[in-house]
Structure 1
Amino acid sequence: MALALHRPALFSSSPDLAWSWLPPFAAVLAYPHLLAAFFQRFNAQDGSPVLAVLAMASAFAVTALGFAFAWRLGHAPHPTARSLTARRFAYLTVAAPPLFTFMGVLLYLMKIEGADAAVWTGLWTAAAAWVAMLQLTRRSDGDAVDEAAAPAGMQATRALAALRVTHGISAAALIVVFLAPHLFNHLVAWLGDQAHQSLMLQLRKLYRHAWVEPALLLAMAFQLLSGLALWLPKTRRKANLFDVLQLASGIYLTFFIASHVNSVFVLARHFGVDTNWAWAVSAPAGLTGDAWSVRLIPHYAIAVFMLLGHLACGLRVVLLGHGVSDARAGRWAWIALAGATIVAIAISSAMLGARL
């Protein structure tokens, strides 16, 4: 009884937690309008740069807010079905940038113009209505999720462990063959567009090889499916900061990869567009000079951080599995996250025109 009386309210099964997804939902609805405000302020002759930067910072904050609420909900050691639904919805809002880009490309392919904000609002409102109905039909207490039952049994636990290892091996192969060279190629843009183009043509000989490219696509598909299979049961457990970042980055990358593959293989190649640096940065207008392309600024910048952040969290898990202390593993993870931030800023700056 004493423990129950002194348990922090944050860890309780309070009905308030069941509706804590509402602030991230409101932020997601504002996301297209924040991007539009940035474009208008940044490109207006009498616009205010301060207001433009504030609008873009607020767009980035949509992902940060979803992360913050997912972290808050992740503290509960014994989540209820209602708080679990709220937690997963908060994770979904983290992926607002790639979801908005993905939706925009699909609408473009369907020749639906000027309806991005309206469709976005409708889809998220429908999702929110579904979540609200789930929350209203569940009890506010007494419905704690049984962590041991999902997945149930030793066999399922072993299967998840094997899947986790395979997921890591596949990720390592993707890093070596494609992701590391690809990110390095973007960093080379600091030396000029021609330097980027020259290196890209050399790298394409590897990852566009007739045998390598299909293998990369299969590996990416496996990463998405296996990642979701690992993500769902892990959202049921109490999570620290690194756990939440790993889950948030995983769901972000799921939609980013789906969006990027769709843009490259369905949109660009279908119309015979070369997916080079000029395509990535929306030349000649640039990412800031086109009303549609401004969405790519948070889309790409957060993706780079999430990718490297996901690897940093994975590194921590590997270190812990090899007997490294939690404190030391955490320090290595923080160092890796600092590096992820620097790389994300550097690549984003290059895409916005920064050069040496």
Structure 2
Amino acid sequence: MFKRWADSPYQMAASKPLSKWVVWAPVLTTSVYPYFLNAFHTLVTSVEPGAVISPVYLLLATVVMLAIFSVPAMGFALACQRITRQHNAVAQLKVRRLALFIICAPTLYCFVGVNLIMLGSPVPDEWFWAASWIGFGLYLSRDGSGLQQPIRPIRAMPALRVAHGIAGAIVLLFIAFHLFNHLFGLAGPQVHAQVMEIGRTVYRSSFVEPVLVIALLFQVFSGLRLAWNWSSVGSDNYRIFQVGSGVFLAVFILGHLNAVFVFARTYAGIETGWDFASGDPVGMIRDPWGIRLLPHYAIGVFFIITHLFSGLRVVMLAHGVSKSGANKTWWGGAVIGALISLLIMLGITGVRLS
């Protein structure tokens, strides 16, 4: 009976405090994320276009790029790790939600940058980012060992889950075309623009665009509510991936809407075509600000596809499909997502099929 109570989500916070380094190590690593991007940009721009890249530079650039992508990966590792399970439930919850923020680092940094431009902030993005994360670390590392809070059990929220799925189906039509359109970047900006204009006759129409925006915003806020609910308790790694990728996409969508409707159309008065997305004429990789878009887009595309397959996995399990079969389907979706993300990023960074 005691064991059942101890495993209950209503368990009271234990007295053993969480090691501050469980919070500070990932927080400090995330705080220097912009400097990984700057280092990669410096390495790339030190080589003239068309020049032969030495193996040393190529190795250094690869290592720095791995460091960039290791930050959101670290977030997943932190969310899945078991070290905090020896601590109290409140400490586990604190670290789990910290991990969700870290997963979102690439898209959060873009969101921060766009808004600092519109605010006319004289503070460099890197300084603001680092200071914010250090402040976040100070808040999270406060000693909560004396707290005696129960962790409430998760709510099923079936109506919200169904509504989230229905809105997702509406959004999926737009996203599928959007990804299809970006694949034409491999054929060049002109072909991409031609395909985009066909789609814009539909999704920019006076009826469809407001419906699409409302559906996207509903996806954001309903997804965040569901993620907050599911983050209250630990789960298997597939569920953690679904929650983490969902939070990333919520920030990604909100940032994308902000960049298109507020920054581009209202603040800057510019067209949101190929040049806007790819950073032309300089190019995404060689632009000191635009380099942050590379992991933002690459992970975003991957998460869009794998998040859909995460939802499909849940539906398959609910309808009696074996766990191994559902997991294999998810892994197949992950391979598809990685491949499509790679192809889109190759196109957007200048690779052409002919």
Asked if Structure 1 and Structure 2 have the same fold, meaning a TM-score greater than 0.5 normalized by the shorter chain, the answer is yes
1:36-47 aligned at under 5 Å gives the runs 36-45=38-47
Q: Following the alignment from structure 2 to structure 1, what is the Cα–Cα distance between the partners of residues 239 and 177?
A: 27
Residue 83 of structure 1 aligns to which amino acid in structure 2?
A: Q
Provide the residue aligned with 1:192 in structure 2.
188
Runs of at least 5 residues in structure 1 that lack an aligned partner in the other structure? 8-12, 152-156
Q: In structure 1, which of residues 334, 337, 348 is the aligned counterpart of residue 334 of structure 2? A: 337
Provide the residue aligned with 2:294 in structure 1.
297
Residue 44 of structure 2 aligns to which amino acid in structure 1?
A: F
Whether contact under 8 Å (2:242, 2:307) holds in the other structure is: yes
| 1:108 is the counterpart of 2:117 | yes
Residue 36 of structure 2 aligns to which amino acid in structure 1?
A: L
Whether contact under 8 Å (2:220, 2:250) holds in the other structure is: yes
Whether contact under 8 Å (1:39, 1:291) holds in the other structure is: yes
Q: Following the alignment from structure 1 to structure 2, what is the Cα–Cα distance between the partners of residues 295 and 74?
A: 32
1:1-356 aligned at under 5 Å gives the runs 15-16=17-18, 19-45=21-47, 48-73=57-82, 76=85, 80-113=89-122, 115-133=124-142, 136-139=143-146, 145-147=151-153, 150-151=154-155, 157=156, 160-176=157-173, 178-270=174-266, 271-356=268-353
TM-score (norm 1): 0.88
Once the two structures are TM-superposed, the CA of residue 241 in structure 1 deviates from its matched residue by: 1.6
Once the two structures are TM-superposed, the CA of residue 21 in structure 1 deviates from its matched residue by: 2.9
Whether contact under 8 Å (1:37, 1:55) holds in the other structure is: yes
Once the two structures are TM-superposed, the CA of residue 137 in structure 1 deviates from its matched residue by: 2.6
Q: Following the alignment from structure 2 to structure 1, what is the Cα–Cα distance between the partners of residues 316 and 83?
A: 23
Q: Following the alignment from structure 2 to structure 1, what is the Cα–Cα distance between the partners of residues 118 and 226?
A: 32
CA 1:255 to 1:129, structure 2 compared with 1: closer, same or farther past 3 Å? Answer: same
Once the two structures are TM-superposed, the CA of residue 75 in structure 1 deviates from its matched residue by: 8.9
Q: Following the alignment from structure 2 to structure 1, what is the Cα–Cα distance between the partners of residues 237 and 315?
A: 16
Whether contact under 8 Å (1:181, 1:203) holds in the other structure is: yes
CA 1:127 to 1:300, structure 2 compared with 1: closer, same or farther past 3 Å? Answer: same
CA deviation string 1:76-122 (max 9, x = no partner): 59960111011101111110011111110111112225610111111
CA 1:272 to 1:346, structure 2 compared with 1: closer, same or farther past 3 Å? Answer: same
TM-score (norm 2): 0.89
Q: Following the alignment from structure 2 to structure 1, what is the Cα–Cα distance between the partners of residues 150 and 83?
A: 14
Q: Following the alignment from structure 1 to structure 2, what is the Cα–Cα distance between the partners of residues 339 and 204?
A: 26
Which range moves more in the overlay, 99-108 or 19-28? 19-28
CA deviation string 1:230-280 (max 9, x = no partner): 111211223112111101101111111111111111111122211111210
Q: Following the alignment from structure 1 to structure 2, what is the Cα–Cα distance between the partners of residues 345 and 139?
A: 48
Secondary structure, in 3 states, of the residue corresponding to 2:81?
helix
Secondary structure, in 3 states, of the residue corresponding to 1:51?
helix
Which range moves more in the overlay, 210-219 or 110-119? 110-119
Residue 31 of structure 1 aligns to which amino acid in structure 2?
A: Y
Once the two structures are TM-superposed, the CA of residue 49 in structure 1 deviates from its matched residue by: 2.9
CA 1:41 to 1:167, structure 2 compared with 1: closer, same or farther past 3 Å? Answer: same
Identity in percent:
35
Residue 138 of structure 1 aligns to which amino acid in structure 2?
A: S
Whether contact under 8 Å (2:93, 2:233) holds in the other structure is: no
